[in-house]
Amino acid sequence: MVKNTEINLSTLSRDLKKSPSDAVVIGVGQGTDGPVLLDNPLAAKSAEALTDSLKSLGVTGAADQIVRLPGLPETGAGILVLAGVGKVPSGTAPTGEALRRAAGSAVRQLAGLGTVALAFPTASVADVAAVAEGAALGAYSFTEFRSAKDGLKDPVSKAIVFTDVADQKELDAALKRAALIGRAVNATRSLVNTPPSHLYPETFAEAAKDLAKGLPVKVTVWDENRLEKEGFGGIMGVGKGSSRQPRLVKVEYSPARATAKIALVGKGITFDTGGISIKPALGMGDMKSDMAGAAVVLNTVLALAGLGLPVKATAWLCIAENMPSGAASRPADVLTMFGGKTVEVLNTDAEGRLVMADGIVAASREFPDAIIDVATLTGAQLIALGNRTAGIMGSEVVTTALKAAADRAGELVWPMPLPEELRPSLDSQVADLANIGERHGGMMTAAVFLQEFVGKDKDGVQIPWAHIDIAGPSFNNGSPYGYTHKQGTGCTVRTLVAYVEDILAAA
């Protein structure tokens, strides 16, 4: 169902002409006194001539700027591209994220070409990995629902990273990881971009099976009958108003010598009308992206399996379509959640926390070392942190590690508190708790609700847990930037993979 976009990645250490390309990309930074041509494989005379011409060519070095010039004979390419890397203070090298964004931006904007050589300064394997990953993220398109492809450009199909460290033995693994990360993020983007006429609970479950083919994972699907029988009241309560009934999908990666065990829970509302508490019409079409959390956790586990990491990782995809009908939940209904807690539904548009609660309880029963849930949960996240920064809340041991992993991966997250005074606002007169509470700080109130469903470990201590609210950064309604395209972004897949790598390294 998901037609993924992939790029062939390789490296080159010497003469550019030995590996012909359609374009060679070199970096330009924003220095204190103007644009600065970064280290590159051009001959000294060519580099000097370019340096003298940067200002007259209008080159600033700003991020996302690319300037195309006729190719030089020494490069073996018909086009020479000057790509902005952003601010590069004097005497310093670009950061890994600056390289990742510059490579991704160049590859994204050079769609229509077949092979691109990326000659950014790469002093280490980590720098090469950043450039390769940026290329993999930039080489994406979503055209499945176009009846005609006239005027559309295919993404770059091959990227060659020029580097002086091409002989390092770690390089093959770094390129493999970059390709896998690109595949996982792009698959997440494509799921988010798929219209709700085609992606609904049943087909989402089928897509999970398709994406898992060839990987050492087990996929289990709960249909509406099993969900009803086993008491998944949150998922059924949200999904019963639609003719397309809900699903719970469990994706397990269980290598024989796992040294850690994590559970990932994802919100999978394939379309959110708000239910009986219906949303305004303006912007409702964006609610096809309300399943981004489930797409993230699915592709994270598949990436971990592809990398062969020694971690038992389980994704729980809590999938429903929130529609108003005669069968839909009403405000004032009481749902009995998986595990027995009761929730008074005061607003049917606060549905994500209901399906997630069931998933968190199910995940808790397997006693993982940590539970991380990912959801496009609240509009309050955008008010607090904007369109590009996700909020993370929960156990400090998990949120601290997630922030460090996000920084390493180049993604924007910010830890937020869970104030004790928010919990009483979730009290209900008729049930164990209500599904909405204090309006101010609504992102945190939603997390406080989810915390009520996190189970205890075998010693009776609450399992370490974190909640990631990606309501803003999961969907880009603005212009493309860096390696980020319009609509689905695939955010936090890279953070979660980095988090697992970090905990394995620490162990």
Binding-site sequence positions for Mn(2+): 267, 272, 290, 349, 351
The CA distance from 193 to 126, in Å, is 31
Torsion sign (Cα): 52, 57, 60, 61: negative
CA angle 386, 391, 392 (to 5 degrees): 170
The CA distance from 274 to 329, in Å, is 11
Q: Please indicate whether residue 353 is annotated as part of the active site.
A: yes
Of the residues 209, 261, 279, 423, only one is catalytic, namely 279
Give CA torsion, residues 151, 157, 161, 162, to 10 deg: -70
The helix/strand/coil state of 421 is helix
The CA distance from 311 to 61, in Å, is 42
Of the residues 240, 247, 288, 353, only one is catalytic, namely 353
For residue 220 the two structure tokens come to 């289990």
Backbone angles phi, psi at 119, to 5 degrees: -110, 60
3-state helix, strand, coil in the chain (%, to 5): 35, 25, 40
Give CA torsion, residues 232, 234, 240, 244, to 10 deg: -80
Q: Is there a contact between 497 and 303 (Cβ–Cβ < 8 Å)? A: yes
The CA distance from 82 to 80, in Å, is 7
Q: Is there a contact between 86 and 72 (Cβ–Cβ < 8 Å)? A: no
Q: Is there a contact between 290 and 469 (Cβ–Cβ < 8 Å)? A: no
Q: Is there a contact between 50 and 202 (Cβ–Cβ < 8 Å)? A: no
The CA distance from 155 to 174, in Å, is 22
Which are the contacts of 183, defined by CB distance < 8 A and separation ≥ 6?
4, 6, 136, 303, 306
Matching residue, tokens 């970059």: 178
Summarize the annotated binding site as residue ranges. Answer: 267, 272, 290, 349, 351
Which are the contacts of 239, defined by CB distance < 8 A and separation ≥ 6?
201, 224, 245, 246, 319, 320, 321, 322, 355
Ramachandran region, residue 460 (left: φ > 0; alpha: ψ -120 to 50; beta: rest): left
Quick count: other Cβ atoms within 10 Å of Cβ 272? 26
CA angle 201, 345, 395 (to 5 degrees): 80
The CA distance from 232 to 361, in Å, is 10
Q: Please indicate whether residue 439 is annotated as part of the active site.
A: no
Task: For residue 102, give the nearest of 158, 140, 63, 132 by alpha carbon.
Answer: 63
Kindly list the catalytic residues: 279, 353
